Structure 1
């Protein structure tokens, strides 16, 4: 008689994280473990249940500090763990990590794992920074295994003495890897590409930069808009697609930036898009001059579709892009260097072609989802064997 599969609980604060960040992974793991996905309620949680064919359980958790709700969430997690007796709990977002690691330790869950997909405290100051550091230290103390998503996150954890536990980056980084069959240069037909170009009033011989992310200053949008606006005055056949939701568009700090966006006919805003592949397919280069990143999925997805990246020389981005191999690294917050780099790639087609050839290979070799999933499965098995 076959022994039952070990119970594995994957936990995030909000269901969107489970839906978007772990797409496909939970279904794969369910072949080897009895997987339950836990987060607050929402349509995304039901989407996870239907797509991944895993159990789901809703426990409301707030992203922000809320003492009453946090205690309630902690108690519900503790009771659920005591009742269900999982072998492994594994969290991926900050509040879910803190609450589930504490509740798991108290409930006697043998393997308690947390993945840091990014850190909040390095970008805060004063009381809030100290509070967040204390919370991350408590999280790590209660966890049995701590995983930084990438090298930069690992260095920050070490620099701030968050934990003395071993810190292991699974595979080559990134929480889920990339589906290189789904994100493929030939995934979108020529007809579909032409239709999208017509819709956006882009000519086939236009050179297209694409940005994917929230339209906020921290993503380097101010520098990007300034650099592109200057570039487009000298080069008439360039376009910039901005794909992502606007946030605080009327903020005084952003007023000039959005004024430029609205008044430059070569800048095209398309808002948030569930399906990003067609936009990659009509573009030449991804651009992400962000101030900070965990491990940016957009750079991986675009790379899998054959797009080189112009990205900030920061943790996460520089773990994917090798300078002048599959893209270019630029200093953050420097629009002049960004403009020079954009111009270089625009006027040297042979150089662009060599970057494009390397873009997909780099992602397929190091960040294929199958590699990440298999390494994660091994990590679970090793942890259980050590008990």
Structure 2
């Protein structure tokens, strides 16, 4: 059996991004999942039925700790002699590709699930770009998660090595049976609505992801406040006298008797890419903005929602857009890598410019008012996901690639 190590910086990446994939791969290969220790790594071992190995890797740059991790990876590879190592996150990719080359691992694969340096400036951009170039030099094979990531790797001349997008993109595909409207019972939906105080007549917008600045939370929150002014007959619902002083809020339009709600599902990570105090204040003082924290299963939240909004600044190939589309939610996304490969404007969703509050407001307003548009977008998005991004297609493409490369 081909001996393959799948490597990530933190165990959450293996647990969430590769759910089910490692179990599939283990039917024909000897798979070991490598990352820092934690509950998520233990869960991978239990659910996927694969071996695990703990090596702590810092997400932030830390010269001493990174060197320690590098040496531990080198010693582990030298001892275990894997045929293939395959990393999926930036720091794990850099360290494992270097350690793998030093240890003589014949096949060293890295999948770029997104690039950070194009969105940084000054010395940090040059540092991150240099790190990705070093990673690629030590790797034998590079796989961008989507066409947008591939284009960026080429445009910035990160590597001259061949770049290949497996299947149609995305690291794990989507299980369209698991993510379907029928997967959540009516009773479960009602229980969740009751717990969140979602009432009949409420129009629910949903965001799923980390609550950080780069996910477009600032623009989403401000656009939602403005939308309330447009749609809500009762001014008390807007927090009268406390709405943000913004041009968005002054737009005039006949009001409808629709109560908008915004559910934010995901962890607040103020230590990494923090939201500004003003954004946090707008979230906290608006009773129609509901935060839930991280959720193992996002399907119930999608099942009770009317539209999905994902105004991120940058992505590789977002799983959550596939999930929402499979759950038959009309989607509003920004014109970025991955999102614009899944969603095509006015064909199966709405695509808006990045960091554009007014365009976001206009799209949310249109989605609320036009039920026919919602129906068409939803039908087309689900169909495209089933055709191009089914989980089995992605897994089979990866299996074939491993078999082709195996020494």
The two structures have a TM-score, normalised by structure 1, of: 0.94
Q: Which residue of structure 2 lines up, in the alignment, with residue 319 of structure 1?
A: 341
The 1:32–1:235 alpha-carbon spacing in structure 2 relative to 1, beyond 3 Å, is: same
Structure 2 counterpart SS, 1:238: strand
| Structure 2 match to 1:163 | 159
Task: Please give the alpha-carbon distance, in whole angstroms, between the structure 2 residues aligned to 1:278 and 1:76.
Answer: 41
> Map of 1:263-342 to 2, 5 A cutoff?
263-342=285-364
The 1:258/1:72 distance shift into structure 2, 3 A limit, reads: closer
Render the CA deviation track for 1:310-363: whole Å, top value 9, x for unaligned: 011111110111111221001111111111111111111111111121222121
* Count of equivalent residues: 380
Give the CA deviation at 1:147: 0.5
Residue from 198, 202, 216 that aligns with 1:202: 198
Verify: 1:381 aligned to 2:403, yes or no.
yes
Provide the C-alpha distance between the structure 1 equivalents of 2:279 and 2:128, rounded to a whole number of angstroms.
32
Q: Does structure 1 retain, via aligned residues, the 8 Å contact 2:85–2:105?
A: yes
Shift of 1:308: 1.7
Specify every segment of 5 or more residues in structure 1 that has no aligned partner in the other structure, as ranges.
none
Match of 1:259 in 2: 281
Q: Which moved more, 1:153-162 or 1:58-67?
A: 58-67
1:32 deviation in Å?
Answer: 0.8
**Distance (Å, rounded) in 2 between the aligned partners of 1:198 and 1:110:** 55
Query: Which residue matches 2:138?
Result: 142
Aligned to 2:386: 364
Runs of 4+ in 1 over 6 A off after TM superposition: none
- What does residue range 349-360 of structure 1 map to in structure 2 within 5 Å? 349-360=371-382
RMSD: 1.7
Give matches, 1:223-242, under 5 Å: 223-236=219-232, 237-242=259-264
> Aligned-pair distance for 1:296?
1.3
CA contact under 8 A between 2:206 and 2:263: conserved in structure 1? yes
In the aligned structure 2, how far is the partner of 1:248 from the partner of 1:121? 20
Kept in 1, the 8 Å contact 2:113–2:315? The answer is no
Q: Compute the displacement of 1:373 (Å).
A: 0.5
Q: Tell me what 2:242 maps to.
A: none
**Counterpart among 262, 266, 270 of residue 248 in structure 1:** 270
Q: Which segments of 5 or more consecutive residues in structure 2 lack a partner in the other structure?
A: 233-258
| Residue in structure 1 matched with residue 253 of structure 2 by the alignment | none
Does the aligned pair in 2 maintain the 1:232–1:266 contact within 8 Å? no
Secondary structure, counterpart of 1:329 in structure 2? strand
Question: TM-score, length-normalised on structure 2?
Answer: 0.89
